[in-house]
Structure 1
Amino acid sequence: MRERQAHQSAIEPATQNARPFLHGAELEAVRTVLDSGQYGHGEVTERFEQALAAFLGVPDVVAVASGTAALHIGLVAAGIGPGDEVIVPSMTFCATVQAIEATGARPRFAEVDPDTLCITSQNVLEAITPATRAVMPVLYGGRPVDLTAIHGELAIRNITIVEDAAHAFGSFCGSRRVGATGLVTCFSFGPIKNLTCGQGGAIVPRSLEEATHARRMRLLGMVEPPAERARSTSYRVEGFGLRAQMSQINAAIGLVQLEYFPTMEAQRKDLWRDYTRALKNVDGVALVDVDVEQSVPSLCAVRVPGRDRVFEIMRSRDIGVGAHYPPNHLQPAFSRWHRPLPVTEQIGSEIMTLPFHPAMGPHEVSAVVSALEGALR
């Protein structure tokens, strides 16, 4: 079994669908920030932004308080607002849709490929209307989404791509990391993501103008950065903003996580391959493909006939399965934008996520798959 970090909890990994994975140095990094007495946005946050930009190979990254804030601010910085329509797969976490609503725009729900649970170029073209101003592909499970085949068509229609890469930090699209392909890309650094800050997110802007807009919006529309405001008797507010900055506490965690990311990248890929081998001969179960050679997997999803019954049996046996995600076009909050999506509705009745986090190894994978086989019988 692959070696695990000694400081991790002794809780049996298979009982949890996902959990944070810390390396030990995060505690001292947080203590240093706490001792400084400066907890808000500051020098540590900016170092984290610079480290992210260097890792991705991009000019700039804007750190924010959450992945949802990243999506909201990223859309606004890209020019999306009231009256606009954003094409988005229904098969995503509700935060994606809430971020669209927060801009004053409206979602246009689209189908996904049943093998990958990601939107395709054809899905996008079938969903476009005259009001469409953005497409928000969701990189489900960490899988990159390549819409280059329709970039020209989207450009002619003045439609922007804003990626929801909450699952996909570290994944590649071709030879470049997700976030370095010239699109507005939004990451989440929540507790169970590929890289965690405890809570947090980040936006990769396309231009200095977008970066400036995002930085002002995350700090209540104020122009001057915190250090400059502290030395002044005044400050200037130039537009709408949120309190959505990333604290130095969260950034300190992220800096340590980024240092160890190559280890996490390898462990997540190995864990995915363990599941692929173990599930190969399980009849009736379809593994949702994340393209592990290109991705850093964030979760392990399968499609299971009789999902609800299997789910309850697995839970009763203390196996931490989940259901990521109930389709959003069927949610009461988004009912006014409902449109029939038969593929997504079928997937929604079958999808189940298996325990997947770096504290696991081949033994735990074998136990989960054995329990799944038993539940199917």
Structure 2
Amino acid sequence: MTIAAGAGDNARPYLYGPEEAGVVEALRSGQYGHTAVTDRFEGEVATFLGVSETVAVASGTSALHVALLAAGIGPGDEVIVPSMTFCATVQAILAVGARPCFVEVSPRTLCINSGAVLDAITADTRAVMPVLYGGRAVDLCDVRPALTERGIAVVEDAAHAFGSYNGAQRVGATGALTCFSFGPIKNLTCGQGGMIVPRNPLEADRCRKLRGLGIVESAAWRAEATGYTVDGFGLRVQMSSLNAAIGSAQLAHFDKAETKRKALWRAYANALRGMDGASVVDVDVERSVPHLCAVRVHDRRDQVFRTLRARGVGVGTHYPPNHLQSAFAAWHRPLPVTEQVGREIMTLPFHQRMTEADVETVTAELRQSLAQTATR
């Protein structure tokens, strides 16, 4: 059997066409740092989300790093975070000198819930970092008053969730300090990049200074001046005009991404319904722009994974639990649900170049692989 081309990659970037012209225009300007092109992209994203302002940075990881610093998180502080996430989430916590407090996820959604958050709060808790796995929003509205009373910030890792809704509002517009990733395979790509949605103008100013080496003045102002002011610590994590140009072109076509990703996820969900040995992780597709399609393989995941890879099907694993990583061993605690999920999780090929025929091919291969491994 020949595997369809769309099934060979777990994820691939998707370009609409105008991205190339945007990059060429930015290249010809001769200015490749944070420029008016970046400012324009920030404004476009703010309008799309329905927020007053956004802060563009070099990556989703740097968005988390800067957001934690802007929220005042630092040495001695504890951040509640699910273990089921990409290691970048945890590295951002360590980068500010804080420590992770790993918590369980729901086995149905792979996201944290309010009960897990409340149970994990200690005297040192200063932030909660929900991870919007697969694009699904995490609603902590019922515990927000308790968190606010204790001075605990909510810093959303929304790397998967650009375009998704939390209730009637887009993720990023609900009052949390929200961080997006615009990496190569995200719902919207800048090639590489990230975005912070600050909670207020003061926090926005902090984020801007932190991303730009602590310099107070804008790049445009400095071009006309003989000096500048540094009033604190900062990083060099601005988004370049080249990346912003790609993002701006992508955003103009985001309705296509939203429609296609929802359709692909629904096609998978329908094809997987009732399949023996595997179940789909629910992303709440009516309100989400799915970033991936994850399944739990209930027995012999590793064998199924190897069989599918050998057949040319681009499956992946997102993610091995972080509390079991040697780098984070100091913060290990038993998390039986996460550990079980970690043994079962597998992501199916999911990108906008795929067709529903590709989905049928992948699910047929999965069904055959499950049957083969069950007989060994």
Q: 5 Å matches for 1:67-82? A: 67-82=60-75
Distance 2:178 2:10 in 1: 26
CA contact (8 A) 2:323 2:329 kept: yes
2:256 equivalent to 1:300: no
User: Tell me, what secondary structure is at the counterpart of 1:166?
Assistant: coil
Distance 1:371 1:347 in 2: 22
The corresponding residue for 1:57 is 50
Aligned length in residues: 367
Q: 5 Å matches for 1:33-182? A: 33-182=26-175
Amino acid at match of 1:103: V
2:19 equivalent to 1:26: yes
The corresponding residue for 1:376 is 370
Residue 81 of structure 1: how far off its partner (Å): 1.1
The corresponding residue for 1:6 is none
Residue 215 of structure 1: how far off its partner (Å): 0.3
The partner residue of 2:356 within 349, 354, 362 is 362
Q: 5 Å matches for 1:190-229? A: 190-229=183-222
Residue 374 of structure 1: how far off its partner (Å): 0.9
Distance 1:358 1:259 in 2: 16
The partner residue of 2:336 within 332, 336, 342 is 342
- Gaps of at least 5 residues in structure 2 are 372-376
User: Tell me, what secondary structure is at the counterpart of 2:44?
Assistant: helix
For residues 239-258 of structure 1, give each alpha carbon's deviation from its aligned partner in whole angstroms, at most 9, with x where no partner exists. Answer: 11111000000000000100
2:264 equivalent to 1:264: no
Amino acid at match of 1:100: I
List 4+ stretches of structure 1 deviating above 3 A.
none
2:224 equivalent to 1:231: yes
CA contact (8 A) 2:273 2:279 kept: no
For residues 15-48 of structure 1, give each alpha carbon's deviation from its aligned partner in whole angstroms, at most 9, with x where no partner exists. Answer: 0000100001100110000111111000000000
Amino acid at match of 1:331: Q
Amino acid at match of 2:36: E
The corresponding residue for 1:5 is none
CA contact (8 A) 2:61 2:92 kept: yes
User: Tell me, what secondary structure is at the counterpart of 1:22?
Assistant: coil
Residue 13 of structure 1: how far off its partner (Å): 1.2
Distance 1:33 1:110 in 2: 44
For residues 328-354 of structure 1, give each alpha carbon's deviation from its aligned partner in whole angstroms, at most 9, with x where no partner exists. Answer: 000011000001100000000000000
Residue 125 of structure 1: how far off its partner (Å): 1.2
User: Tell me, what secondary structure is at the counterpart of 1:16?
Assistant: coil
Greater displacement, 161-170 / 121-130? 121-130
Amino acid at match of 1:81: G
- Gaps of at least 5 residues in structure 1 are 1-10
Distance 2:40 2:182 in 1: 16
Distance 1:125 1:342 in 2: 18
The corresponding residue for 2:374 is none
Distance 1:175 1:55 in 2: 14
2:304 equivalent to 1:310: yes
Residue 284 of structure 1: how far off its partner (Å): 1.6
The partner residue of 2:322 within 321, 328, 350 is 328
Residue 126 of structure 1: how far off its partner (Å): 1.5
Distance 2:19 2:130 in 1: 32
User: Tell me, what secondary structure is at the counterpart of 2:56?
Assistant: strand
Amino acid at match of 2:212: L
Q: When the two structures are superposed, what TM-score results if normalisation uses the length of structure 2?
A: 0.97
For residues 109-147 of structure 1, give each alpha carbon's deviation from its aligned partner in whole angstroms, at most 9, with x where no partner exists. Answer: 000000000000011112111110100000000000001
The corresponding residue for 1:250 is 243
Q: When the two structures are superposed, what TM-score results if normalisation uses the length of structure 1?
A: 0.97
Residue 281 of structure 1: how far off its partner (Å): 2.8
Distance 1:348 1:360 in 2: 26
CA contact (8 A) 2:60 2:181 kept: yes
Distance 1:375 1:302 in 2: 14
